[in-house]
Amino acid sequence: MRKAIDSPRGWQLYNQRIGMVEPVFANLRHNKRLSRFNHRGQAKVRTQWRLYCLVHNIEKLSKAGLGQVGVQ
């Protein structure tokens, strides 16, 4: 694994992850205060996770100006 990560392609993939995935987790953890799940059981945790992701994605769409009526 270390050999794969230390390759030029591995660094490229890792750098993409830093820019794409990590900010999402940082937003959910610090801004939404999701440091622990409030429910027990896989189905309930999955539902809570999906709700937080839904809120994150709706905020992204809102900031991009999508879904606003009458605005061009």
pLDDT reported for residue 43: 95
Does residue 71 carry a pLDDT above 60?
A: no
Distance (Å) of CA 27 to CA 5, 19, 45: 26, 13, 18
CB of 15 within 8 A of CB of 8? no
Tokens at 14, concatenated: 């890792």
Residues 26-62: tens digit of each pLDDT: 888 888 888 888 889 999 999 999 988 898 888 889 8
Does residue 15 carry a pLDDT above 80?
A: no
pLDDT reported for residue 11: 82
Does residue 9 carry a pLDDT above 90?
A: no
- Predicted structure pTM score: 0.61
| Every domain of the chain and the residues it spans | 2-63
